[in-house]
Amino acid sequence: MNRRFAGAALALTALTLLIAASASSPAAQRPAPPSLGSRSSSFGGQAGVDRMVSGAEVGLSGGQLVVIQRAEPRTLNPVIAIDVSSKDVIWRTMADLIHINRETQLTEPALARSWAVSPDGRRFTFSLRRGVRFSDGHPFDADDVLFSFQVYMDEKVASPQRDLLIVGGQPIAVRKLDQETVQVDVAEPYAAAERLFDEIAMLPRHLLEKPYKEGRLSETWGLRAPAEAFAGLGPFRFKEQLPGERVVLERNPFYWKADRAGHQLPYLDRLVFTFVPSEDAQAVRFQSGEADITTRLSAANFAVLFRDQSKRNYELIDRGPGLDYTFLFFNQNNPAEKAPPAIARKLTWFRQVLFRQAVSLAIDREGIVRLAYRGRATPLWGHVPPGNKLWVNRSLPRPGRSVERARQLLQKAGFAWNADGALVDNEGQPVEFTVVTNVGNTERIQIATIVQDDLKQLGMRVSVVTLEQRALLDRLLTTHEYEACVLGLGGGDGDPNSEMNVWLSSGNTHLWNPGQSQPATSWEAEIDALMRRQLTTRDVHLRKRLYDRVQELVAQNLPIISLVSPSVLVGATKGLGNFRPTVLDHHALWNVEELFWRRRSPGAPQ
Amino acid sequence: MLGLLGLVYLSAVFAGFLAPDDPATQNRDLSFAPPTRLHFGDGTRRLHVRPFVYGLARSGDSDAYVEDRSRIYPVRFFVRGVPYRVAGIFSAERHLFGTDRPGRLFLMGSDEYGRDQFSRFLHGGQISLFAGLLGAGLSLGVGMVLGGLAGFYGAWVDETIMRVAELFLALPWMYLLFAVRMALPLHIEPTEAFLLVLAVIGLIGWARPARLIRGIVLSAKLRDYVAAARSLGASDLYLLRRHIWPQVLGIALTQGALLVPQYILAEVTLSFFGLGVGEPVPSWGNMLASLQRYQVLSSYWWMFVPGLALIPVFLLYYALADALHQRAAALSL
């Protein structure tokens, strides 16, 4: 791909050296950006840059886009960011070697213009794009790549990306062949290894090496840092921020993508992120026209905005099921030694597959879709939602709701009903338990309330308790003091490798029974084997078959009872060109460099 | 006044009979249905003596409902329906009114799970109205005993009780409740939660009535006839019962009438924040809680009804307090 720029100008090397020599000074000034005035000159002083050409519609330059988000980013440092609100901003200013195209869900070249894989699948050779510069004008080369991987793999930095870069128990080995070629060795053949490099941001060595050596890397690039302290390879660069209110990014004049007409991207001059504390406030502000793009809309607010759509200057888009899946699961941990017998007895119910199957059969998934999501969700019987088009197993059975059959299963498992119609176990103890979920997450609370009512028909007494996110995770993963939980998982790139931690019995997010030393059940052992095997299989079709089997095992044994996959709902002001939201994350902003205003809307804020 | 208030409380006690439906039954096809319209005419000029309703159907893919005019469901009185209990003592299954299934009579519309708001409103009144009454009774009772002791005995008793009262006045009770709730186990029964809320708000609220009662007792015991009785050798108990109690009673009742609405509001506030009784048991507070969401707030006006109902109830209580006050003033003259 993109071989058309292979014969890059030689003149560039001299310039590279020149700037590299002066770059050690922290006060290095930003070189004057190339002129942007008219289209014919949009290549400015950057002749010979090995550009990537976007296939999207050719647009108009200028204007700003206001994006409204639910939380302020906690940091602008890609090495330590874990929350969505930080990542949404950071990834407008950063770039990776290989990128997963959010629309096709396949990998495509980014800062690496091409890559080669050795026949044994363990060696990757990246050819870097020539003439690429950071947003402060400093050239990007193989040393930056080496530095970036060194940072990500440093244990002291504790980057969340570190786990991904350890394959077969060993960190990947990165070597520089020349200024434009980098070689990466992995310890064992690794399926879809090129997907590993997605969202590993390439860092500017000239700015970050000093703080890294001083052990201050995780404190750099906080929200309060001055604009000169930042440099990235993304379409925008940090300009200014107002605490609690907004972060302003401006066009990166050195960006390495161009459109088909040869104009340098991005089209927009400014990208403004504003923050409101709640989902409802987000919808109200969008409705009043204070923002151009809103993502992660709840179905309820989508309905409110939808009703008004014809009167207002915005359009709403329902992209159908995303990668998120919401499910119910029971605590299957070993009871703690000093746990009261009442708790231990409950755990024995939850460990019976017939019990879980009965619960699954009694839940009205269609009702959940209708009530909690106002129809904007898809019922699930397996954990991979249909939005994950490459991996979903479409042949899983979808048993309809049947209280009758659920009762038969419970009977088979030794449960009975007393005179009041309450379900009792073989010792005559009534089946009562609590479902915990996130406080403030309306949909999950509604799901729990619907489940409560459905299970009442089986004679189970369920109560619903909401907990603050941190308290909830602490109970689930650390103290194991809960009985059942409604939770959601998602994000990631859809590849099974991104969920290794969930499905491996030793994984620390193996929610129902995390961190096991030995698989507790035979089906967990089988899932372990399948997941490990697909991890090192390079044949995509075989991997799909292996993962299909995992989905089957999960659907049969129901460690998690998949319920629904919410639809991806976004809204945008009318007249935004190339606006094609995706179901993968960064839904509306994945192609922000291609977005443009068809014509300036008269009331657009400047 | 008292009669009207009595009616309000009776309607809560007999909620099961007055309500056409069970407050927890979900109708998942009828979420956020507007109040059902009662019809007398069916468009064919024939007037029905007995009012009737139409069934509801979704109009297209939108949120709105339309009436399905193909079939009518007459409203019937004293119908057999879901079993219920009155005051937790005897059970019955006759309801004042209802319609044939699958017709639905939602006098106040339905909530997000398609539960009948009117039935929930009446049952919710059981919690909210009695929480007010019991909470006020509890704090007034404690307040009268402690305030009476402080005022009558004075000296160090007075000092101690009044300083503790000031401490309680300074307590931010909302945060205290949050803390109490956090310290409790995850799961508590709705009735336990109800009693807990009551106990906490009642016990924290004793300080204000106690200060008032103390003042009354203090001034009463200095009256000449009290001093005279004491000099004739009357015991403390006699003085309290015979001379001071009648003075205090009128004020205390007035105070009680003012406190009840405050405690109703306290329950509503706590349940609104999810600290009161839990789903699926209704209370006016947790019925209003769904209004925290923009969609509900902006789309379904009938969800405000429990909040609006507070206004006449409060006005009745204030009118009652006024009447009691005037009586007490007339007596003490």
Question: CB of B65 within 8 Å of any CB in chain A?
Answer: no
Question: CB of A442 within 8 Å of any CB in chain B?
Answer: yes
The pTM score is 0.81
CA A342 vs CA A330, A349, B184: distances in Å: 15, 11, 17
With contact defined as beta carbons under 8 Å apart, do A383 and A562 qualify? yes
3-state secondary structure of A170: strand
Question: CB of A243 within 8 Å of any CB in chain B?
Answer: no
- The mean pLDDT values, 10 residues at a time, for chain A of 606 residues are 32 29 34 39 56 88 90 87 85 93 88 89 90 92 93 86 80 90 88 83 92 88 88 93 90 92 92 88 90 89 86 88 92 78 85 94 93 91 90 92 94 91 90 88 91 93 85 84 90 80 85 88 93 86 94 94 93 90 86 86 45
Do the chains contact at A304 and B294, CB–CB below 8 Å?
A: yes
3-state secondary structure of B11: helix
State the amino acid at position A592 in one-letter form.
V
Do the chains contact at A304 and B278, CB–CB below 8 Å?
A: no
> How many Å from the N-terminal Cα to the C-terminal Cα in chain B?
24
Residues 176-235 of B with CB under 8 A from A: 186-187, 189
Chain A nearest C-alpha distance from B243 (Å): 52
List CB contacts (< 8 A) between A465 and chain B: 186-187, 278
Query: Looking at beta carbons, which pairs linking B45-51 to residues 24 or more positions away fall under 8 Å?
Result: B48/B72, B48/B74, B50/B74, B50/B75, B50/B76, B51/B75
Chain segment B249-305, per-residue pLDDT in tens: 888 888 888 889 988 888 888 888 877 777 788 889 889 988 888 888 888 888 898
List CB contacts (< 8 A) between A439 and chain B: 274
**CATH of segment(s) B123-332:** 1.10.3720.10
| Residue whose tokens read 């969340």 | A160
State the amino acid at position A110 in one-letter form.
A
- Pick the closest to residue B280 from B89, B36, B25 (CA basis): B25
| pLDDT at site A28 | 35
DSSP letters, A293-322, are EE-S--HHHHHHHHHHGGGTTEEEEEEEE-
Locate the chain B residue with the closest alpha carbon to A372. Answer: B112
Instruction: Give the rounded percent of residues in chain B with a pLDDT score beyond 70.
Output: 94
| pLDDT at site A35 | 38
What domains sit in chain A, N to C, each tagged with a CATH number? 55-93+234-313+574-606 (3.40.190.10), 95-221 (3.90.76.10), 325-566 (3.10.105.10)
Q: Per-residue pLDDT for B229 more than 80?
A: yes
List CB contacts (< 8 A) between A449 and chain B: 113, 279-280
With contact defined as beta carbons under 8 Å apart, do A126 and A107 qualify? no
| pLDDT at site A451 | 95
Do the chains contact at A439 and B274, CB–CB below 8 Å?
A: yes
Residue ranges of the domains in chain B? 17-118, 123-332
Tokens standing for residue A514? 């995390």
3-state secondary structure of A330: strand
CA B122 vs CA A122, B15, B18, B88, B228: distances in Å: 70, 5, 8, 15, 54
The DSSP code for A10 is S
**Partner-chain residue, chosen from B31, B279, B294, that has the shortest CB–CB distance to A283:** B294
Chain segment B80-118, per-residue pLDDT in tens: 877 777 766 777 777 888 787 777 888 888 888 889 889
3-state secondary structure of B12: helix
| Residue whose tokens read 């999960």 | A554
| pLDDT at site B130 | 87
The larger pLDDT score, comparing residue B189 to residue A184, is at A184
> How many Å from the N-terminal Cα to the C-terminal Cα in chain A?
38
C-alpha to C-alpha distance for A285 and A347, rounded to whole angstroms: 46
| pLDDT at site A22 | 32
| pLDDT at site A14 | 29
| pLDDT at site B104 | 81
Q: Per-residue pLDDT for B38 more than 90?
A: no
C-alpha to C-alpha distance for A81 and A61, rounded to whole angstroms: 31
| pLDDT at site B60 | 63
Q: Which residues contact B250 (CB under 8 A, 6 or more apart)?
A: B324, B325, B327, B328, B329, B331, B332
**Partner-chain residue, chosen from B274, B278, B293, that has the shortest CB–CB distance to A280:** B293
Locate the chain A residue with the closest alpha carbon to B31. Answer: A371
Mutate to test the interface with A, among B22, B25, B26, B59 (most CBs of A within 10 A): B26
C-alpha to C-alpha distance for B21 and A300, rounded to whole angstroms: 27
Locate the chain A residue with the closest alpha carbon to B26. Answer: A453
Q: Which residues contact A159 (CB under 8 A, 6 or more apart)?
A: A79, A80, A151, A152
The larger pLDDT score, comparing residue B332 to residue A176, is at A176
Chain B nearest C-alpha distance from A248 (Å): 28
With contact defined as beta carbons under 8 Å apart, do B173 and B200 qualify? yes
Do the chains contact at B63 and A283, CB–CB below 8 Å?
A: no
Do the chains contact at A439 and B293, CB–CB below 8 Å?
A: no
| pLDDT at site A605 | 46
Tokens standing for residue A118? 């050795």
